[in-house]
Amino acid sequence: MSRPVASRADNPLRDPRDRRLPRIPDPCALVVFGVTGDLATKKLLPAVYDLASRGLLPPGFALFGFARRDWDTRDFKRFARNAVIAHARTEFSEDVWSRLADCLCFTSGSFDDDDAFDEMAKTLDELETVHGTRGNAAFYLAVPPDAFPPVLRQLQRTKLCDTTPLGGWRRVVVEKPFGHDLKSARELNTLVDDVFTGHDVFRIDHYLGKETVQNLLALRFANTLFEPLWNAHYVDSVQITMAEDVGIESRAGFYDATGAARDVLQNHLLQLLALCAMEEPVSFDAESLRIEKRKVLNAISLPSDHERYAVRGQYLQGWLAGRRVPGYLAEPDVPSNSTTETYAAVRLGVETRRWAGVPFYLRAGKRLPRRVTEIAVVFKRAPHLPFAATDTVELGQNQLVIRVQPDEGVTLRFGSKVPGPSVEVREVSMDFLYGEAFTESSPEAYERLVLDVLLGDKTLFPDREEVEASWEVIDPLEEFWSGRPPHTYRAGEWGPIAANTMVERDGRVWRRP
């Protein structure tokens, strides 16, 4: 009689670190506070559906919504269905939805409503029996930052943050911005660490869930081609850009109190800088990665002359995509005297042996000509060109450009001879596109990060020290900008003139994506 063939999962010789096989979380409940907000509607609910569609949710799973709407679970199911149909990455399937809908439940209440939290605690206990969640629960705070403390205190009061007698885990997910300065970040960190253990706190930065950001590590450390050149001997400068063509949309209340530096530079762009500048970790586990990123963040130097190398701006009325759009001060609910920046650019240094003397230019803005996020590593010019000056008029500097979004991929720009009898060297591009090289489409960032939360994998989540080190970079800039009016730029332009002057002063220019 033939023996049954063992699966790869049963193979004792298989490396337990092998992540090529699907990773399925333990049975658990995902509790989303603010489940009717934009984040949950456009990102979290579709991400959970996409995970279900790919078979990556455990058999014992429940999705628990908490919001102020006067709804019951049937109302929540209708709302969630519409959100999934409108925003899910994968094609809508009635079979998948039917299975997921059976796992949904909802509690109505405000964050200071003791009765609502008591009811939620009771329902979570019932889910252990009904859905077999084994007492495991992740609490996702998809709420404004000022709501973090009351929710955390309620979780502490009801002991929902405690592991269950059966040994079930409890985790919390906190959205950025984590505080509004270093002092508030430390206070919030202290509160979170008082309620949950540090191991169970997931500070989410959705940029780290993007495939191209993760590919940056593979590009550097899995290829002999790039790493030997990844240092001050060969790199002239690094430009990190996050451009948005939209305005503030319906986020005036949040955005006017935050601004571009706190909203984008402090988290997204400094995380990209850390991944770009870090040394090779001993392994790709969460702690090894965080150690190397912390070294970079702690080595960042601010410009000695903020006036010349730190620029912020605010968009005026202009033309974008063929239509006239209002200026920031004319946006709904924005105070007419607001000095909040919608554009921020700064030159930073990384004081390590690898990067000493290499400027890192960071910029982020709204109402720019197009939506794009990219990292451009600009290499030094060849020390000697055996060509006449007229032969290389159209030759720029070699560049390696990692496009985070959209059109995810990598571009290598280098010089090549133009066909013909004369000698003429011109800049050309070699492109790699995710959409063309792989048959499987990239998962959305929240899809990957929600799964990692349920798995307890913190590799893609900044820790407390990273968050506080980032605020130590941003706070002096905010102090310098305080009370100073921002420069202006018209919607549809690449930022204020002062930002161009900033890099031109160093003999460089901004790359035009």
pLDDT value of residue 222: 86
Q: Is residue 11 part of a domain?
A: no
Task: Look over the chain and give the mean of its residue pLDDT values, rounded to a whole number.
Answer: 86
CB 231 within 8 A of CB 354: yes
In a domain, 232, yes or no: yes
List, by residue number, the catalytic residues. Answer: 268
Give yes or no: residues 147 and 278 share one domain. Answer: no
Determine, yes or no, domain membership for 144: yes
Q: Are the C-beta atoms of residues 120 and 126 closer than 8 Å to each other? A: no
The Cβ of residue 507 has, within 10 Å, a number of other Cβ atoms equal to 8
CATH number at residue 232: 3.30.360.10
The answer on 314 and 366 residing in a single domain is yes
CATH number for the domain harbouring residue 113 = 3.40.50.720
* Percent above pLDDT 90 for the chain: 49
Say yes or no: 288 and 415 in one domain: yes
pLDDT > 50? residue 271:
yes
Give the pLDDT confidence score for residue 395 in this predicted structure: 62
Domain assignment present for residue 492? The answer is: yes
- Domain membership of residue 7 (yes or no) is no
Residue 208 and residue 470: Cα distance in Å, rounded? 15
DSSP 8-state class, residue 413: E
Considering the domain architecture, whether residues 369 and 444 belong to the same structural domain is answered as: yes
Q: What is the pLDDT of residue 162?
A: 80
> Which structural domain, as residue segments, surrounds residue 430?
208-455+463-504
Region 211-217 average pLDDT: 83
418 with 496, same domain?
yes
Q: DSSP for 336-389?
A: TT----SEEEEEEEE-STTTTT--EEEEEESS-SS-EEEEEEEEPPPS---S-G
Last residue of a domain, one of 175, 195, 218: 175
Task: Indicate whether 137 and 259 sit together in one domain.
Answer: no
Q: Please tell me whether residues 166 and 213 are part of one structural domain.
A: no
Give residue 4's pLDDT: 38
Do 167 and 214 have their domain in common?
Answer: no
Is pLDDT of 47 > 80? yes
Domain shared by 151 and 232, yes or no = no
Lowest mean pLDDT among 61-70, 75-84, 246-255, 353-362: 246-255
User: Can you tell me which residue has the tokens 């399925």?
Assistant: 24
pLDDT at 329: 95
- Assess whether 113 and 220 both reside in one domain: no
Asked, for residue 509, whether it belongs to a domain, the answer is no
Q: Count Cβ atoms within 10 A of the Cβ of residue 274 and give its class: 0-12 exposed, 13-18 middle, 19 or more buried.
A: buried
Q: Report the pLDDT value the prediction gives residue 349, as an integer from 0 to 100.
A: 95
Does residue 13 belong to any structural domain of this protein?
no
What is the pLDDT at residue 11?
44
256 and 122 part of one domain: no
Confirm whether 299 is domain-assigned.
yes
Mean pLDDT on 427-442: 74
Say what the pLDDT of residue 9 is. Answer: 42
Helix (H) or strand (E) holding 487: strand 487-490
Please identify, among 154, 175, 196, the residue that sits at the C-terminal boundary of a domain. Answer: 175
- Of the three residues 130, 154, 175, the one that is the final residue of a domain is 175
How many domains, in total, are found in the chain? 2
pTM greater than 0.85 (yes/no): yes
Residues 146, 220: one domain? no
In angstroms, the CA 258 to CA 263 distance is 6
pLDDT value of position 392: 55
